């Protein structure tokens, strides 16, 4: 069951909770092509209050799993935006510049993050050389991300703050 897997919960307990939420008309269940889908019941008495509460709580850059990013390899830069800062204009939620990345640790951190925020996290991973090249070429994607709303988690790139300040003048 995908819900149980993404939230790192036992499938039996997840199924039981989903059935309870359907009983109190909190969730609705739909089946399409043999696949079950669950959605928040818009007729639920506290629908709008809950929707606003979830939007505020899941868009926090203080997610516990974000601190684990430094363990995926030699991380030089980690910037967040998108779902972490409630900034829907961002094309990705995170930009990571790291060398010698452990794919297993990266997958584990991303799975934990997705479970924590309740959404899929889109990210770009590049090594230091690729980052420098893209920055030197004024890569449109990277410049748009940097000039947009973002927050710095890790910055070990010499001169990056100076580059950011230089871009703010334009």
pLDDT tens, 25-78? 889 998 989 888 888 888 888 877 776 666 555 445 567 778 888 899 999 999
| Residue pair 81/151 in contact by the 8 Å Cβ criterion | yes
Averaging pLDDT over each range in 14-18, 66-70, 164-168, which range is the top one? Answer: 14-18
Task: Give backbone dihedrals phi and psi of 156, rounded to 5 degrees, phi first.
Answer: -120, 25
Distances (CA, A) of 110 to 67, 105, 143: 12, 9, 24
The predicted pLDDT at position 121 comes to 92
Place of tokens 């998108």: 82
Residues 6+ away with beta carbon under 8 Å from 50: 40, 44
- Percentage, residues of the chain above pLDDT 90: 43
Task: Indicate the domain borders of the chain.
Answer: 2-57, 64-168
Residues 118 and 9: their CA atoms lie apart, in Å, by 13
Q: Which among 71, 63, 22 is positioned nearest to 43, based on CA atoms? A: 22
Residue 152 has pLDDT above 80, yes or no: yes
Report field, pTM of the whole predicted structure over 0.75: no
Residue 97 has pLDDT above 80, yes or no: yes
Residues 6+ away with beta carbon under 8 Å from 120: 114
The predicted pLDDT at position 56 comes to 53
Mean pLDDT, range 86-99, rounded to an integer: 92
Residues 66 and 75: their CA atoms lie apart, in Å, by 12
The predicted pLDDT at position 161 comes to 80
């Amino acid at each position: 069951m995908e819900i149980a897997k993404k939230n790192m919960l036992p499938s039996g307990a997840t199924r039981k909770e989903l059935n309870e939420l359907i009983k109190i008309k909190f969730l609705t269940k739909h089946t399409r092509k043999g696949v079950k889908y669950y959605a928040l019941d818009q007729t639920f008495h506290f629908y709008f209050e809950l929707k606003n509460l979830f939007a505020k709580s899941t868009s926090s850059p203080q997610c516990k799993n974000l601190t684990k990013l430094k363990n995926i390899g030699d991380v030089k830069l980690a910037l967040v935006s998108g779902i972490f800062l409630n900034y829907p204009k961002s094309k990705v939620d995170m930009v990571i510049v790291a060398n010698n990345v452990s794919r297993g640790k990266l997958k584990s951190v991303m799975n934990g993050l997705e479970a924590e925020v309740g959404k899929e996290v889109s990210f770009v991973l590049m090594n230091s050389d690729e980052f420098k090249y893209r920055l030197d070429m004024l890569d449109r994607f990277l410049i748009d991300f940097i000039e947009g709303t973002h927050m710095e988690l890790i910055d070990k790139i010499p001169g990056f703050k100076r580059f950011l300040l230089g871009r703010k003048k334009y």
